[in-house]
Amino acid sequence: MSDTVEPTIVIVPGLRDHVADHWQTLLAERLDKVRTVPPLECDKLSLAARIAALDAVIADIDGPVVLVAHSAGVMITVHWAQQTRRPVRGALLAAPADVETPMPSGYPTLAELDANGWNPIPRGRLPFPGIVAASTTDPLASFRRVAGMAEGWGSRLVDVGDVGHLNPAAGYGEWPRAEELLNELLAATAPDLAAVR
């Protein structure tokens, strides 16, 4: 019967962790049942440490969970999904960072990402429904590459247009589409209450 309970939304930030004016932070402030994966104090580039942090948050939640991930948080989520049997109702995966291709200056190098376990990107089907929100102008991932990831993960691809990396530097801030997509995901993954009766 726990599936009939309103799910807890788990926010999975990228490598920048908590950013006050990021759409994930602003979304979390509007939600009733929400948890955010906390920033790491050390080993900030360690994928294993970030997966462990996500797992600890989910382990502390009773009832259903829906994930909302952005950028490297998407990569953390898909790696975590390959290693766990914890059930998740679904995930909104926004602007995945393509950690297999060189990133702009100021971001980790491919060598650093490889050394910290980020590659290769898992391409297997996720054990839960997903919506991948893909930008057509993301400096951290081409639309074509993100479309391929979404296909491999068995997730629905949504073209969200010219939104850069969907972060404050690109003007987001508020991103109302996040709530729309989250509500679509919640509706699509809601249990069939008639079947429970």
Torsion of CA 121, 127, 133, 138, to 10 degrees: 0
Is CATH 3.40.50.1820 what the domain over 2-192 is classified as, yes or no?
Answer: yes
Is the torsion defined by CA of 133, 62, 46, 29 positive or negative?
positive
Average pLDDT over residues 59-80: 97
pLDDT for res 194: 38
Predicted confidence (pLDDT) at residue 176 exceeds the cutoff of 60: yes
The pLDDT tens digits of the residues spanning 137-152 come to 999 999 999 999 999 9
The pLDDT tens digits of the residues spanning 9-33 come to 999 999 987 788 999 999 999 999 9
pLDDT for res 9: 98
pLDDT band for position 2 (50/70/90)?
very low
Average pLDDT over residues 100-110: 95
Give me the residue spans of the domains in the chain.
2-192
| Beta carbons of 62 and 2 less than 8 angstroms apart | yes
| Beta carbons of 93 and 69 less than 8 angstroms apart | yes
Measured CA to CA, the distance from residue 76 to residue 187 in angstroms comes to: 25
